[in-house]
Chains A and B, each alone.
Chain A
Amino acid sequence: MGDAMSGYSCVDHGLVDAILERYPREEPSLIQVLQDVQRAYNFLPCEVLTRVSRELGVPLSKVFSVATFYKAFSLTPQGRVIIKVCTGTACHIRGAPLLIEEVQRRLGILPGGTTEDAAFSLHTVNCVGACAMAPVVIVGDKYLGNAKAAGLAAHLTRGE
Protein backbone atom coordinates (compact mmCIF):
# COMPACT_ATOMS: atom_id res chain seq x y z
CA MET A 1 0.00 0.00 0.00
CA GLY A 2 0.98 3.60 -0.29
CA ASP A 3 3.12 3.38 -3.40
CA ALA A 4 1.21 6.00 -5.33
CA MET A 5 3.58 5.98 -8.30
CA SER A 6 3.13 2.37 -9.32
CA GLY A 7 -0.62 2.25 -8.98
CA TYR A 8 -0.16 -1.47 -8.41
CA SER A 9 -1.21 -1.49 -4.79
CA CYS A 10 -4.88 -0.68 -5.10
CA VAL A 11 -5.94 -3.74 -7.07
CA ASP A 12 -9.47 -5.02 -6.78
CA HIS A 13 -8.98 -8.75 -6.34
CA GLY A 14 -12.66 -9.42 -6.93
CA LEU A 15 -12.08 -8.85 -10.64
CA VAL A 16 -9.30 -11.47 -10.74
CA ASP A 17 -11.43 -13.96 -8.84
CA ALA A 18 -14.22 -13.59 -11.38
CA ILE A 19 -11.78 -14.01 -14.28
CA LEU A 20 -10.10 -17.07 -12.78
CA GLU A 21 -13.51 -18.66 -12.23
CA ARG A 22 -14.12 -18.73 -15.97
CA TYR A 23 -11.21 -20.94 -16.96
CA PRO A 24 -9.73 -24.26 -15.94
CA ARG A 25 -6.80 -23.77 -13.55
CA GLU A 26 -4.13 -24.95 -15.94
CA GLU A 27 -1.33 -23.59 -18.11
CA PRO A 28 -3.28 -23.45 -21.41
CA SER A 29 -5.65 -20.88 -19.86
CA LEU A 30 -2.83 -18.39 -19.34
CA ILE A 31 -3.27 -16.15 -22.37
CA GLN A 32 -7.05 -15.96 -22.07
CA VAL A 33 -6.77 -15.07 -18.39
CA LEU A 34 -4.19 -12.39 -19.15
CA GLN A 35 -6.38 -10.97 -21.93
CA ASP A 36 -9.30 -10.69 -19.51
CA VAL A 37 -7.08 -9.11 -16.86
CA GLN A 38 -5.79 -6.61 -19.41
CA ARG A 39 -9.37 -5.76 -20.35
CA ALA A 40 -10.52 -5.45 -16.74
CA TYR A 41 -7.64 -3.29 -15.45
CA ASN A 42 -6.38 -1.73 -18.69
CA PHE A 43 -2.99 -3.25 -17.79
CA LEU A 44 -1.45 -6.24 -16.04
CA PRO A 45 -0.71 -5.34 -12.42
CA CYS A 46 2.31 -7.13 -10.91
CA GLU A 47 0.38 -8.59 -8.04
CA VAL A 48 -2.31 -9.94 -10.36
CA LEU A 49 0.38 -11.67 -12.46
CA THR A 50 1.78 -13.23 -9.29
CA ARG A 51 -1.69 -14.38 -8.35
CA VAL A 52 -2.39 -15.79 -11.84
CA SER A 53 0.95 -17.62 -11.72
CA ARG A 54 0.03 -19.24 -8.43
CA GLU A 55 -3.55 -20.10 -9.37
CA LEU A 56 -2.73 -21.60 -12.77
CA GLY A 57 0.42 -23.32 -11.55
CA VAL A 58 2.58 -21.57 -14.15
CA PRO A 59 6.00 -20.29 -13.03
CA LEU A 60 6.07 -16.52 -12.65
CA SER A 61 8.96 -16.30 -15.12
CA LYS A 62 6.75 -17.89 -17.80
CA VAL A 63 3.84 -15.57 -17.01
CA PHE A 64 6.19 -12.60 -17.26
CA SER A 65 7.59 -13.93 -20.56
CA VAL A 66 4.13 -14.09 -22.07
CA ALA A 67 3.08 -10.74 -20.58
CA THR A 68 6.10 -9.01 -22.13
CA PHE A 69 5.99 -10.89 -25.44
CA TYR A 70 2.58 -9.80 -26.73
CA LYS A 71 1.91 -6.20 -27.67
CA ALA A 72 -1.68 -6.64 -26.51
CA PHE A 73 -0.44 -6.77 -22.93
CA SER A 74 0.89 -3.83 -21.00
CA LEU A 75 2.64 -3.73 -17.64
CA THR A 76 1.94 -0.05 -17.16
CA PRO A 77 -1.56 1.41 -16.74
CA GLN A 78 -3.19 2.33 -20.05
CA GLY A 79 -5.82 4.94 -20.73
CA ARG A 80 -9.46 3.96 -21.09
CA VAL A 81 -9.27 4.97 -24.74
CA ILE A 82 -6.19 3.95 -26.69
CA ILE A 83 -5.22 6.05 -29.67
CA LYS A 84 -3.15 4.31 -32.31
CA VAL A 85 -1.60 6.42 -35.03
CA CYS A 86 -0.45 4.35 -37.98
CA THR A 87 3.05 5.21 -39.13
CA GLY A 88 3.25 2.74 -42.00
CA THR A 89 4.73 3.96 -45.27
CA ALA A 90 1.46 5.17 -46.81
CA CYS A 91 0.30 6.87 -43.61
CA HIS A 92 3.73 8.37 -43.04
CA ILE A 93 3.74 9.92 -46.49
CA ARG A 94 0.19 11.18 -46.11
CA GLY A 95 0.84 13.00 -42.88
CA ALA A 96 1.04 10.64 -39.88
CA PRO A 97 3.75 12.78 -38.21
CA LEU A 98 1.34 15.75 -38.23
CA LEU A 99 -1.36 13.61 -36.61
CA ILE A 100 0.99 12.43 -33.88
CA GLU A 101 1.99 16.02 -33.24
CA GLU A 102 -1.65 17.05 -33.01
CA VAL A 103 -2.53 14.32 -30.49
CA GLN A 104 0.60 15.10 -28.48
CA ARG A 105 -0.27 18.78 -28.40
CA ARG A 106 -3.89 18.24 -27.44
CA LEU A 107 -3.32 15.59 -24.78
CA GLY A 108 0.16 16.52 -23.60
CA ILE A 109 1.53 12.98 -23.90
CA LEU A 110 4.27 11.39 -25.98
CA PRO A 111 3.81 8.16 -27.95
CA GLY A 112 3.70 5.34 -25.38
CA GLY A 113 2.34 7.73 -22.77
CA THR A 114 -0.94 7.95 -20.88
CA THR A 115 -2.74 11.10 -19.71
CA GLU A 116 -2.71 11.75 -15.98
CA ASP A 117 -6.46 11.13 -15.66
CA ALA A 118 -5.99 7.78 -17.47
CA ALA A 119 -8.45 8.82 -20.16
CA PHE A 120 -6.15 8.35 -23.16
CA SER A 121 -3.00 6.49 -24.20
CA LEU A 122 -1.11 7.27 -27.38
CA HIS A 123 0.72 4.63 -29.39
CA THR A 124 2.28 4.59 -32.81
CA VAL A 125 1.84 1.39 -34.79
CA ASN A 126 3.66 0.19 -37.88
CA CYS A 127 0.79 -0.67 -40.21
CA VAL A 128 -2.86 -1.42 -39.62
CA GLY A 129 -3.41 -2.76 -43.13
CA ALA A 130 -5.72 0.04 -44.20
CA CYS A 131 -3.30 1.89 -46.47
CA ALA A 132 -6.05 2.79 -48.96
CA MET A 133 -7.51 5.22 -46.44
CA ALA A 134 -4.20 6.57 -45.20
CA PRO A 135 -3.47 8.25 -42.91
CA VAL A 136 -5.28 6.15 -40.31
CA VAL A 137 -5.87 6.86 -36.64
CA ILE A 138 -7.64 4.37 -34.41
CA VAL A 139 -9.41 5.88 -31.41
CA GLY A 140 -10.67 3.10 -29.17
CA ASP A 141 -12.52 0.80 -31.60
CA LYS A 142 -13.11 3.50 -34.20
CA TYR A 143 -11.00 3.62 -37.38
CA LEU A 144 -10.63 7.13 -38.73
CA GLY A 145 -9.61 7.03 -42.39
CA ASN A 146 -8.14 9.96 -44.32
CA ALA A 147 -7.63 11.53 -40.93
CA LYS A 148 -6.86 15.22 -40.74
CA ALA A 149 -5.17 16.93 -37.82
CA ALA A 150 -7.99 19.46 -37.63
CA GLY A 151 -10.61 16.73 -37.40
CA LEU A 152 -9.00 14.85 -34.51
CA ALA A 153 -10.13 17.23 -31.77
CA ALA A 154 -13.71 15.96 -31.98
CA HIS A 155 -12.55 12.45 -31.07
CA LEU A 156 -10.32 13.50 -28.20
CA THR A 157 -12.99 14.79 -25.86
CA ARG A 158 -13.37 13.30 -22.41
CA GLY A 159 -17.18 13.66 -22.29
CA GLU A 160 -19.44 10.65 -22.43
Chain B
Amino acid sequence: MPTLTIDGHTVHADHGQFLLAACRSAGIQIPTLCDHPAVEPYGGCRLCVVDVTRPEWNGWCKMVVACLFPVEDGIVVHTASTRVIEVRKVVLDLLLARCPDTPLVRDLAARHGILATSYVRNQQPTDCILCGLCTRICDRMGMSAIGSVDRGAGREIATPFREPPAACIGCLACAEICPTGFIRYESGTARRKIWDKDFDMLRCPRCGRSHITVAQADFFAGRGGVPRSYFEICDVCKRKDLAVAATRLACATETPAR
Protein backbone atom coordinates (compact mmCIF):
# COMPACT_ATOMS: atom_id res chain seq x y z
CA MET B 1 0.00 0.00 0.00
CA PRO B 2 1.65 3.24 -1.13
CA THR B 3 2.21 5.71 1.67
CA LEU B 4 2.60 9.35 0.76
CA THR B 5 2.68 12.72 2.41
CA ILE B 6 0.05 15.24 1.34
CA ASP B 7 0.37 18.73 2.80
CA GLY B 8 2.22 17.26 5.80
CA HIS B 9 -0.33 14.47 6.47
CA THR B 10 0.63 10.84 6.03
CA VAL B 11 -1.86 9.18 3.70
CA HIS B 12 -2.26 5.52 2.83
CA ALA B 13 -3.55 5.15 -0.71
CA ASP B 14 -4.62 2.20 -2.82
CA HIS B 15 -2.46 0.82 -5.62
CA GLY B 16 -3.37 2.43 -8.93
CA GLN B 17 -5.34 5.16 -7.22
CA PHE B 18 -5.00 8.62 -8.69
CA LEU B 19 -3.58 11.40 -6.58
CA LEU B 20 -6.79 13.43 -6.67
CA ALA B 21 -8.75 10.61 -5.05
CA ALA B 22 -6.00 10.14 -2.46
CA CYS B 23 -6.12 13.85 -1.60
CA ARG B 24 -9.88 13.78 -1.27
CA SER B 25 -9.80 10.70 0.94
CA ALA B 26 -7.43 12.66 3.19
CA GLY B 27 -9.98 15.47 3.36
CA ILE B 28 -7.98 17.85 1.19
CA GLN B 29 -10.08 19.73 -1.32
CA ILE B 30 -8.66 20.46 -4.76
CA PRO B 31 -10.67 22.46 -7.28
CA THR B 32 -11.61 20.62 -10.49
CA LEU B 33 -13.94 21.22 -13.41
CA CYS B 34 -13.53 18.16 -15.62
CA ASP B 35 -13.54 15.43 -12.97
CA HIS B 36 -16.67 13.35 -12.49
CA PRO B 37 -17.19 9.96 -10.86
CA ALA B 38 -19.22 8.72 -13.84
CA VAL B 39 -16.40 9.06 -16.36
CA GLU B 40 -12.68 8.34 -16.65
CA PRO B 41 -10.25 11.11 -15.64
CA TYR B 42 -9.38 13.41 -18.52
CA GLY B 43 -6.88 16.03 -17.35
CA GLY B 44 -8.62 18.70 -19.37
CA CYS B 45 -9.16 21.61 -17.01
CA ARG B 46 -5.67 21.66 -15.43
CA LEU B 47 -7.09 23.06 -12.20
CA CYS B 48 -6.07 20.10 -10.05
CA VAL B 49 -2.34 20.72 -10.54
CA VAL B 50 -0.22 19.87 -7.50
CA ASP B 51 3.49 19.78 -6.76
CA VAL B 52 5.07 16.37 -6.32
CA THR B 53 8.53 15.83 -4.86
CA ARG B 54 10.63 13.30 -2.98
CA PRO B 55 12.99 13.92 -0.06
CA GLU B 56 15.97 12.79 -2.21
CA TRP B 57 15.17 15.27 -4.97
CA ASN B 58 16.86 18.09 -3.02
CA GLY B 59 13.97 20.50 -3.25
CA TRP B 60 13.27 19.91 -6.95
CA CYS B 61 9.61 19.24 -7.61
CA LYS B 62 7.40 18.56 -10.57
CA MET B 63 3.92 19.78 -11.26
CA VAL B 64 1.33 17.19 -12.24
CA VAL B 65 -2.42 17.05 -12.71
CA ALA B 66 -3.64 15.15 -9.67
CA CYS B 67 -6.54 13.51 -11.51
CA LEU B 68 -4.21 11.58 -13.84
CA PHE B 69 -1.18 10.99 -11.60
CA PRO B 70 -1.08 7.49 -10.09
CA VAL B 71 0.06 7.55 -6.47
CA GLU B 72 3.60 6.41 -5.74
CA ASP B 73 5.08 5.28 -2.46
CA GLY B 74 7.09 7.95 -0.68
CA ILE B 75 6.10 11.01 -2.69
CA VAL B 76 5.55 14.31 -0.95
CA VAL B 77 2.66 16.33 -2.33
CA HIS B 78 1.95 20.01 -1.92
CA THR B 79 -1.57 20.90 -3.02
CA ALA B 80 -1.46 24.59 -2.23
CA SER B 81 2.13 25.80 -2.69
CA THR B 82 2.66 29.30 -4.05
CA ARG B 83 3.58 27.82 -7.44
CA VAL B 84 0.46 25.66 -7.56
CA ILE B 85 -1.82 28.54 -6.61
CA GLU B 86 -0.18 30.73 -9.27
CA VAL B 87 -0.78 28.13 -11.99
CA ARG B 88 -4.40 27.67 -10.90
CA LYS B 89 -4.85 31.42 -11.06
CA VAL B 90 -3.49 31.53 -14.62
CA VAL B 91 -5.86 28.72 -15.63
CA LEU B 92 -8.82 30.49 -14.06
CA ASP B 93 -7.77 33.82 -15.54
CA LEU B 94 -7.72 32.27 -19.02
CA LEU B 95 -10.99 30.49 -18.41
CA LEU B 96 -12.55 33.74 -17.26
CA ALA B 97 -11.38 35.38 -20.49
CA ARG B 98 -13.13 32.62 -22.43
CA CYS B 99 -16.29 32.46 -20.28
CA PRO B 100 -16.60 35.94 -18.70
CA ASP B 101 -20.31 35.61 -17.92
CA THR B 102 -20.43 32.03 -16.64
CA PRO B 103 -21.37 31.96 -12.93
CA LEU B 104 -19.42 28.74 -12.22
CA VAL B 105 -16.22 30.18 -13.66
CA ARG B 106 -16.76 33.60 -12.09
CA ASP B 107 -17.33 32.12 -8.64
CA LEU B 108 -14.33 29.82 -8.83
CA ALA B 109 -12.12 32.65 -10.11
CA ALA B 110 -13.42 35.01 -7.41
CA ARG B 111 -12.57 32.43 -4.76
CA HIS B 112 -9.01 32.56 -6.08
CA GLY B 113 -9.02 36.34 -5.95
CA ILE B 114 -9.62 36.95 -9.68
CA LEU B 115 -12.53 39.31 -10.21
CA ALA B 116 -11.81 40.21 -13.82
CA THR B 117 -9.63 38.55 -16.42
CA SER B 118 -6.26 40.11 -17.14
CA TYR B 119 -6.41 38.78 -20.71
CA VAL B 120 -8.54 40.01 -23.59
CA ARG B 121 -12.17 39.21 -22.91
CA ASN B 122 -13.73 36.77 -25.38
CA GLN B 123 -15.75 38.74 -27.92
CA GLN B 124 -18.22 35.87 -28.24
CA PRO B 125 -18.67 34.76 -24.64
CA THR B 126 -19.60 31.13 -24.25
CA ASP B 127 -20.63 28.98 -21.32
CA CYS B 128 -18.70 25.99 -22.66
CA ILE B 129 -15.52 25.40 -20.66
CA LEU B 130 -14.46 22.44 -22.87
CA CYS B 131 -14.32 20.12 -19.87
CA GLY B 132 -15.34 17.27 -22.16
CA LEU B 133 -17.80 15.82 -19.64
CA CYS B 134 -20.60 15.77 -22.23
CA THR B 135 -18.61 13.91 -24.87
CA ARG B 136 -17.25 11.47 -22.31
CA ILE B 137 -20.66 10.69 -20.82
CA CYS B 138 -22.02 10.28 -24.35
CA ASP B 139 -19.23 7.78 -25.10
CA ARG B 140 -19.98 6.08 -21.84
CA MET B 141 -23.67 5.80 -22.68
CA GLY B 142 -22.59 4.06 -25.86
CA MET B 143 -23.78 6.69 -28.32
CA SER B 144 -20.78 8.94 -29.07
CA ALA B 145 -23.17 11.33 -30.78
CA ILE B 146 -21.16 14.47 -30.01
CA GLY B 147 -17.47 15.24 -30.09
CA SER B 148 -14.80 17.88 -29.96
CA VAL B 149 -14.55 19.73 -33.26
CA ASP B 150 -11.76 21.90 -34.69
CA ARG B 151 -8.70 22.90 -32.70
CA GLY B 152 -7.08 25.70 -30.77
CA ALA B 153 -9.15 28.79 -30.09
CA GLY B 154 -11.89 27.55 -32.42
CA ARG B 155 -12.40 24.22 -30.66
CA GLU B 156 -15.98 23.48 -29.69
CA ILE B 157 -18.29 20.66 -28.78
CA ALA B 158 -20.44 19.82 -31.76
CA THR B 159 -22.27 17.10 -33.62
CA PRO B 160 -20.88 15.51 -36.80
CA PHE B 161 -21.17 18.03 -39.67
CA ARG B 162 -22.94 20.28 -37.14
CA GLU B 163 -26.18 18.58 -38.08
CA PRO B 164 -28.74 16.81 -35.87
CA PRO B 165 -26.78 13.73 -34.76
CA ALA B 166 -28.04 10.41 -36.07
CA ALA B 167 -26.59 8.56 -33.07
CA CYS B 168 -28.31 10.72 -30.41
CA ILE B 169 -31.19 9.10 -28.50
CA GLY B 170 -32.14 12.21 -26.55
CA CYS B 171 -31.14 10.84 -23.14
CA LEU B 172 -30.02 14.32 -21.98
CA ALA B 173 -26.97 12.86 -20.22
CA CYS B 174 -24.78 15.54 -21.84
CA ALA B 175 -27.06 18.35 -20.69
CA GLU B 176 -27.41 16.91 -17.19
CA ILE B 177 -23.67 16.51 -16.67
CA CYS B 178 -22.77 19.91 -18.17
CA PRO B 179 -21.54 21.99 -15.21
CA THR B 180 -22.45 25.32 -16.79
CA GLY B 181 -25.77 24.62 -18.48
CA PHE B 182 -24.27 25.30 -21.90
CA ILE B 183 -26.11 22.41 -23.57
CA ARG B 184 -29.68 23.54 -24.10
CA TYR B 185 -32.72 21.38 -24.64
CA GLU B 186 -36.49 21.53 -24.58
CA SER B 187 -38.44 18.70 -23.09
CA GLY B 188 -42.23 18.48 -22.91
CA THR B 189 -44.84 15.79 -22.49
CA ALA B 190 -44.91 14.93 -26.20
CA ARG B 191 -41.63 16.10 -27.69
CA ARG B 192 -38.05 16.66 -26.72
CA LYS B 193 -35.39 18.60 -28.61
CA ILE B 194 -31.65 18.55 -28.10
CA TRP B 195 -28.79 19.18 -30.56
CA ASP B 196 -31.49 20.31 -33.01
CA LYS B 197 -32.90 16.81 -33.13
CA ASP B 198 -36.55 16.13 -32.32
CA PHE B 199 -37.67 13.15 -30.30
CA ASP B 200 -41.05 11.63 -29.49
CA MET B 201 -41.59 11.04 -25.80
CA LEU B 202 -42.75 7.76 -24.38
CA ARG B 203 -45.51 7.79 -21.76
CA CYS B 204 -45.45 5.41 -18.83
CA PRO B 205 -48.40 3.03 -19.37
CA ARG B 206 -49.21 3.18 -15.62
CA CYS B 207 -49.03 6.85 -14.68
CA GLY B 208 -48.93 8.54 -18.09
CA ARG B 209 -45.80 10.54 -17.30
CA SER B 210 -43.46 11.19 -20.26
CA HIS B 211 -40.23 9.86 -18.84
CA ILE B 212 -37.94 8.81 -21.72
CA THR B 213 -37.80 9.19 -25.48
CA VAL B 214 -38.97 6.47 -27.84
CA ALA B 215 -35.42 6.38 -29.19
CA GLN B 216 -34.09 5.67 -25.69
CA ALA B 217 -36.48 2.76 -25.18
CA ASP B 218 -35.57 1.38 -28.61
CA PHE B 219 -31.85 1.70 -27.87
CA PHE B 220 -32.01 0.09 -24.42
CA ALA B 221 -34.26 -2.72 -25.67
CA GLY B 222 -31.95 -3.20 -28.67
CA ARG B 223 -29.03 -3.99 -26.36
CA GLY B 224 -30.89 -7.20 -25.54
CA GLY B 225 -31.46 -9.09 -22.35
CA VAL B 226 -34.34 -6.99 -21.04
CA PRO B 227 -37.71 -6.67 -22.80
CA ARG B 228 -38.78 -3.25 -24.10
CA SER B 229 -41.75 -3.17 -21.73
CA TYR B 230 -39.34 -2.88 -18.81
CA PHE B 231 -38.11 0.49 -20.10
CA GLU B 232 -41.59 1.74 -20.92
CA ILE B 233 -42.62 1.82 -17.24
CA CYS B 234 -41.19 4.82 -15.45
CA ASP B 235 -38.83 4.58 -12.48
CA VAL B 236 -41.44 5.86 -10.03
CA CYS B 237 -43.93 3.15 -11.01
CA LYS B 238 -41.16 0.54 -10.95
CA ARG B 239 -40.32 1.57 -7.38
CA LYS B 240 -43.99 1.42 -6.41
CA ASP B 241 -44.25 -2.10 -7.83
CA LEU B 242 -41.15 -3.07 -5.92
CA ALA B 243 -42.49 -1.58 -2.68
CA VAL B 244 -45.79 -3.44 -3.09
CA ALA B 245 -44.00 -6.69 -3.79
CA ALA B 246 -41.67 -6.21 -0.84
CA THR B 247 -44.58 -5.42 1.51
CA ARG B 248 -46.45 -8.52 0.38
CA LEU B 249 -43.39 -10.63 0.87
CA ALA B 250 -42.79 -9.18 4.32
CA CYS B 251 -46.43 -9.77 5.38
CA ALA B 252 -46.40 -13.31 4.03
CA THR B 253 -43.30 -14.23 5.98
CA GLU B 254 -44.36 -12.42 9.17
CA THR B 255 -47.91 -13.72 9.58
CA PRO B 256 -47.24 -17.42 10.24
CA ALA B 257 -44.58 -16.57 12.81
CA ARG B 258 -47.14 -14.84 15.08
Contacts and interface: CB of A to CB of B under 8 A. Distances in A.
Do A and B belong to a common assembly?
Answer: yes
Interface of A: 46, 49, 59-65, 68-69
Contact of A60 (B138, B148, B151, B160): B160
Contacts of A61: 135, 138, 144-147, 159-160, 165, 167
Give 5 nearest A-B pairs by CB, closest first.
A59-B144, A61-B147, A64-B160, A65-B147, A60-B160
Nearest to A50: B160
Interface string B129-165: 0000001001100011111111100000011110001
Interface of B: 135, 138-139, 143-151, 158-161, 165-167
A68 B149 CA distance: 6
Nearest to B154: A68
A62 to B, nearest CB: 6
B151 A69 contact: yes
A71 to B, nearest CB: 8
Contacts of B159: 61
5 contacts: A49-B160, A59-B139, A60-B160, A65-B149, A68-B151
Residue among B146, B159, B161 with the highest chain A CB neighbour number at 10 A: B161
Contacts of B165: 60-61
Contacts of A46: 161
Nearest to B135: A61
Nearest to B162: A64
Contacts of B139: 59
Contacts of B151: 68-69
A49 B143 CA distance: 17
A99 to B, nearest CB: 25
B150 A69 contact: yes
